[in-house]
């Protein structure tokens, strides 16, 4: 395991961004990784089609927590909905590929679920 990878993942895992539940939000979704039991709660406060505040609360492994933290930084203050790819998350953490992608992408998959529930016409987010 590369030291840079380990440092970035551990930093985001120990000190995740935007990980405190919101008192007020406009959109919410819960999602569970069936293979390992990791869970995520995403809450968004959207005003004028912008994500003004968010919480991504992950109960799970270091990769899942790091993925949620990175995703929160990528979407905060962006338009709603915004497109984020798995490669953007991996790039922030210095990962070319990861064996446990389902853990790393738990929060991204939850966000896709939220978009699908909220915006039926929203096409699948690109992973390019």
Percent of the chain's residues with pLDDT above 90? 54
CA separation for the pair 62, 10 (Å, rounded): 7
Domain boundaries, the chain: 3-118
| Residues 73-114: tens digit of each pLDDT | 999 999 998 888 888 887 777 666 656 678 889 999 999 999
| b/e code 111-122 from CB counts within 10 Å (16+ = b) | bbebbbebeeee
CA separation for the pair 115, 72 (Å, rounded): 15
Three-class SS state of 62: helix
| Residues 49-63: tens digit of each pLDDT | 999 999 999 999 999
CA separation for the pair 93, 32 (Å, rounded): 22
CATH number of 3-118: 3.90.1010.10
């Amino acid at each position: 395991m590369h030291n840079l990878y380990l440092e970035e993942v551990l930093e985001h895992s120990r000190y995740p961004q935007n990980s405190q539940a919101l008192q007020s939000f406009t959109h919410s979704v819960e999602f569970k990784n069936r293979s390992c039991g990791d869970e995520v709660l995403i809450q968004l406060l959207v005003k004028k089609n912008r994500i003004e505040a968010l919480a991504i609360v992950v109960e799970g492994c270091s990769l899942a927590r790091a993925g949620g933290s990175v995703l929160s930084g990528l979407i905060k203050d962006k338009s709603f909905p915004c497109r984020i790819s798995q490669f953007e998350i991996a790039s922030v953490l210095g990962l070319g590929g990861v064996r446990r992608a389902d853990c790393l992408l738990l929060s991204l998959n939850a966000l896709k679920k939220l978009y699908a529930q909220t915006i039926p016409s929203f096409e699948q987010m690109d992973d390019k």
